[in-house]
Amino acid sequence: MPKELGTAARQALVALMVHVKVASNPELRSRYRFTITREAREELEKAGLITVRKGLRNANFHELTDEGWAVAERELTSPPPAGLTAPWLLHYATLRHIARLSARAGYRLADVYAGPDGVEERIREAYSGLAKQGGDLVSLAALRAKLTDVPRAELDRILHEMDRRREIHLDPDPNRKALTDRAKEAAIAIGGEDKHLISIGRP
């Protein structure tokens, strides 16, 4: 654990590890009542432990680097920072227990925390990087190009599920004659109709 990291930066590492994928402060606040301060963000970014990019409405999106994951895992075997409140102390104790069990089983914590929500969050992240604002229509071809490591069948299954839950909107391209072969190949069939475009949120 780098000695120069302060308490807020160490807590941010733990929060991002638990969250697994890219996270904005609104997401962290909604799920964990926690936000990454500017000072902690700059500290972690300078140390090469996270990457930060701008998304919709100038929101910062944070993601652990490989070194960040390694340091976050070491954080769980380090004494907790001084001055933490009882909930944080309990959280550290729980994670230390998970870390010990994971090590015995031969797992990395990245494997333990990665769950079914991972691809959904990556879809939202990819969309936010392609859309100018929430509700914009983005081509599925462009979205798939951002998620080439996700198997086609798995991505289609998750898109179907997110559309069913009304978390995304999938639409056909109104100008079918102008569709490229790439756009046609990227389409997903729902209700017997090919959908070529995705939108998330509202303008």
- Over residues 54-74, the pLDDT tens digits come to 876 678 889 888 888 888 888
pLDDT lower than 50: segments of the chain: none
Nearest to 11 by CA among 39, 46, 52, 51: 39
Whether 121 and 142 map to the same domain: the answer is: yes
Out of 94, 113, 132, a domain closes at: 113
Tell me the residue range of the domain where 184 lies: 117-199
For residues 25-47, b (16+ Cβ closer than 10 Å) or e, as one string? Answer: bebbeeeeebbbeeebbebbbeb
Q: Specify the number of domains making up the chain.
A: 2
What 3-state DSSP class applies to 9?
Answer: helix
The pLDDT score that the predictor gives to residue 30 is 82
Residue 70 sits in the same domain as residue 124? no
Residues 42 and 123 occupy one common structural domain: no
Residue-level pLDDT at 138? 95
pTM value is 0.52
d(CA 203, CA 201) in angstroms, rounded, equals 7
* 104/122 same-domain check: no
Are residue 102 and residue 135 in the same domain, yes or no? Answer: no
Q: Encode pLDDT of 79-113 as tens digits.
A: 787 788 888 888 778 878 877 877 777 666 655 66
Residues 179 and 83 in one domain: no
Q: What local confidence, expressed as pLDDT, does residue 3 receive?
A: 58
Shared domain for 47 and 16, answered yes or no, is yes
**Same structural domain for residues 84 and 156?**
no
Please tell me the predicted confidence (pLDDT) of residue 78. 78
Position 1 in a domain: no
In a domain, 87, yes or no: yes
Q: What is the pLDDT of residue 203?
A: 65
- What CATH number has the domain bearing residue 182? 1.10.10
Can you give the pLDDT at residue 141? 96
